[in-house]
Amino acid sequence: MHESVIALGIVREIDKHVKSSGPPARIRVVLGELQNVDEVVLGEYMKMYLEEQGLREVDYVFEWEKARFRCSACGYEWSLDELGLTDSERETIHFLPEAIYAIVKCPKCGSRVYDVLSGRGVRIVIEEKER
Ligand SMILES: [Zn+2]
């Protein structure tokens, strides 16, 4: 369900850009590793909304952004890859991103107080056509 809301937000942003600056060369849709979003479903909604807006020709790609964390206690930075999580822990994080604070702790000092530096949310990067 929320893929449709995300897709609508993305398409509105693209539409605004096309109206003000013309069609972009390409759109990169950057999906955070901690964002519970189904790329296939999102793509279907985007296609539908782009067609509705008459933006069928807009070229876009999906990219996944890795999650990065920084410990508030010792300053260490890490990604999910170095934690050796089990598949079920990874799945839990994917479907319930709030669960990271129960599963993830600083690999250096064990603190559960840390900042999430990246890997959250969805954003778009607009690549302009060369003039
Ligand atoms: Zn630490």
The CATH number of whichever domain residue 76 belongs to comes to: 3.30.2320.80
Distance 105 CA to ligand 1 centre (A): 8
Distance 66 CA to ligand 1 centre (A): 19
Distance 47 CA to ligand 1 centre (A): 43
The residue range of the domain holding 103 is 2-127
Pairing outcome for strands 68-71 and 77-79: antiparallel
Distance 36 CA to ligand 1 centre (A): 26
Note the pTM of the prediction, 2 decimals.
0.82
Nearest to 73 by CA among 119, 106, 118, 100: 106
* pLDDT tens-digit map of 35-64: 888 999 999 999 999 999 999 889 999 999
Nearest to 35 by CA among 125, 102, 95: 95
3-class DSSP assignment, residue 115: strand
> What does the pLDDT read at residue 94?
80
In the chain, the percentage of residues whose pLDDT exceeds 90 is 73
Q: Where are the beta strands (DSSP E) in 33-104?
A: 60-65, 68-71, 77-79
Distance 109 CA to ligand 1 centre (A): 4
> HEC states along 61-80?
EEEEECCEEEECCCCCEEEH
The pLDDT of residue 91 is above 90 = no
Q: What domain count does the chain have?
A: 1
